[in-house]
Structure 1
Amino acid sequence: MAKLSRRKFLAATGATAIAYNIAKIQQSQNSTLARLNPGVYAGYSDTPETTKAILGFVPVVSCCPLIIAQAKGMFAKYGVPDVIVQKQPSWAVTRDKLMLGSADEGLDGAHLLFPMAYLIATGEISYNRKIPMYILARLNLNGQGISIANAYKNLNLGLDSYPMKVALQTKAKSGESIRFAIPFRRVTGDFFMRWWLADGGIDPDLDASLIVIPPPQMVANMRGGSMEGFCVVDPWHQRLIKQKIGYSAVTSGELWNNHPEKAFVMRGEWVDKYPKAAQAILAAIMEAQIWCDRPENKAELFEIVYQKQWIGIPKDVISQRLLGTFDYGNGRVVENSPHVVKFWADNASYPYKSHDLWFLFEDMRWGNRSPEMETKPLVDAVNREDIWREVAKKIGQEQAIPASTSRGIEKFFNGLEFDPENPHLYLTSPKINTK
Structure 2
Amino acid sequence: MAKLDRRKFIAAVGATALAHTIINRSSSSVTTSDSNHNVHVAVRDTPEVTTATLGFVPVMSSCPLIIAKAKGFFAKYGMPDVQVKKQPSWAVIRDKLMLGAANEGLDGSHILFPMAYLMATGEISYGRKIPMYILARMNLNGQGISVANTYKDLHLGIDSSPLKSIFAQKTLTEETVRCAVPYRRVTGDFFMRWWLAYGGIDPDKDTSIIVVPPPQMVASMRSGSMEAFCVVDPWHHRLIKQGIGYSTVTSGELWNNHPEKALAVRSQWVDKYPQAAKALLAAVMEAQIWCDRAENKEELFEIVSQREWIGVKTDLVRDRLLGKIDYGDGRVVENSPHAIKYWRENASYPFKSHDLWFLTEDMRWGNRSPDFPTQPLIDAVNREDLWREAAKFIGEEAAIPPSTSRGVEKFFNGLEFDPENPQAYLNAPKIRVFR
* TM-score of the superposed pair, with normalisation by structure 1: 0.91
Count of aligned positions: 403
- CA deviations 1:22-48 (Å, max 9, x no partner) are xxxxxxxxxxxxxxxx54243234100
Please tell me whether the aligned partners of residues 31 and 41 of structure 2 are also in contact (alpha carbons under 8 angstroms). Answer: no
- CA deviations 1:202-249 (Å, max 9, x no partner) are 000000000000000000000000000100000000000000000000
Match of 1:247 in 2: 246
Distance, in Å, in 1 between the alignment partners of 2:70 and 2:246 is 33
Q: Secondary structure at the match of 1:145?
A: strand
Match of 1:122 in 2: 121
Match of 1:40 in 2: 37
Match of 1:17 in 2: none
Distance, in Å, in 2 between the alignment partners of 1:183 and 1:246 is 18
Match of 2:158 in 1: 159
Match of 1:188 in 2: 187
- Asked if 1:297 is matched to 2:319, the reply is no
Taking the TM superposition and a 5 Å limit, the aligned residue runs for 1:212-251 are 212-251=211-250
Distance, in Å, in 1 between the alignment partners of 2:219 and 2:151 is 18
Distance, in Å, in 2 between the alignment partners of 1:421 and 1:187 is 22
Distance, in Å, in 2 between the alignment partners of 1:107 and 1:160 is 40
Please tell me whether the aligned partners of residues 108 and 263 of structure 2 are also in contact (alpha carbons under 8 angstroms). Answer: yes
Compared with structure 1, are the counterparts of its residues 3 and 294 closer, same or farther at alpha carbon in structure 2 (3 Å cutoff)? farther
Distance, in Å, in 2 between the alignment partners of 1:41 and 1:88 is 34
Match of 1:410 in 2: 409
Distance, in Å, in 2 between the alignment partners of 1:433 and 1:115 is 24
Match of 1:95 in 2: 94
Q: Secondary structure at the match of 2:82?
A: strand
Counterpart amino acid of residue 214 in structure 2: P
Match of 1:340 in 2: 339
- Asked if 1:197 is matched to 2:190, the reply is no
Please tell me whether the aligned partners of residues 32 and 41 of structure 2 are also in contact (alpha carbons under 8 angstroms). Answer: no
Counterpart amino acid of residue 185 in structure 2: R
Counterpart amino acid of residue 250 in structure 1: V
Shift of 1:169: 1.3
Compared with structure 1, are the counterparts of its residues 109 and 41 closer, same or farther at alpha carbon in structure 2 (3 Å cutoff)? farther
Shift of 1:2: 11
- CA deviations 1:313-342 (Å, max 9, x no partner) are 100001100000000000000000000100
Please tell me whether the aligned partners of residues 4 and 77 of structure 1 are also in contact (alpha carbons under 8 angstroms). Answer: no
Shift of 1:172: 1.7
Counterpart amino acid of residue 170 in structure 2: K
Counterpart amino acid of residue 43 in structure 1: H
Shift of 1:4: 10
Compared with structure 1, are the counterparts of its residues 133 and 307 closer, same or farther at alpha carbon in structure 2 (3 Å cutoff)? same
Q: Secondary structure at the match of 2:118?
A: helix
Taking the TM superposition and a 5 Å limit, the aligned residue runs for 1:12-411 are 38-45=35-42, 46-411=45-410
Distance, in Å, in 2 between the alignment partners of 1:141 and 1:3 is 31
Q: Secondary structure at the match of 1:42?
A: strand
Distance, in Å, in 2 between the alignment partners of 1:389 and 1:371 is 31
Shift of 1:345: 0.1
Match of 2:428 in 1: 429
Please tell me whether the aligned partners of residues 2 and 77 of structure 1 are also in contact (alpha carbons under 8 angstroms). Answer: no
Q: Secondary structure at the match of 1:52?
A: coil
Please tell me whether the aligned partners of residues 138 and 348 of structure 1 are also in contact (alpha carbons under 8 angstroms). Answer: yes
Distance, in Å, in 1 between the alignment partners of 2:196 and 2:363 is 18
- Structure 1's unaligned 5+ residue stretches are 6-37
Q: Secondary structure at the match of 2:288?
A: helix
- CA deviations 1:51-87 (Å, max 9, x no partner) are 0100000000000001000000100000011100000
- Structure 2's unaligned 5+ residue stretches are 1-29
Match of 2:8 in 1: none
Shift of 1:434: 5.8
Please give the root-mean-square deviation of Cα atoms over the aligned residues, in Å.
1.3
Counterpart amino acid of residue 120 in structure 1: M
Distance, in Å, in 2 between the alignment partners of 1:315 and 1:238 is 11
- CA deviations 1:151-171 (Å, max 9, x no partner) are 111111000011111111122
Please tell me whether the aligned partners of residues 39 and 393 of structure 2 are also in contact (alpha carbons under 8 angstroms). Answer: no
Counterpart amino acid of residue 317 in structure 1: L
Q: Secondary structure at the match of 1:44?
A: strand
Identity %: 72
Shift of 1:138: 0.2
- CA deviations 1:281-321 (Å, max 9, x no partner) are 00000000000000000000001000000000100001100
Compared with structure 1, are the counterparts of its residues 4 and 230 closer, same or farther at alpha carbon in structure 2 (3 Å cutoff)? farther
Q: Secondary structure at the match of 1:389?
A: helix
Distance, in Å, in 1 between the alignment partners of 2:254 and 2:196 is 12
Shift of 1:3: 8.0
Shift of 1:433: 2.0
Distance, in Å, in 2 between the alignment partners of 1:212 and 1:39 is 41
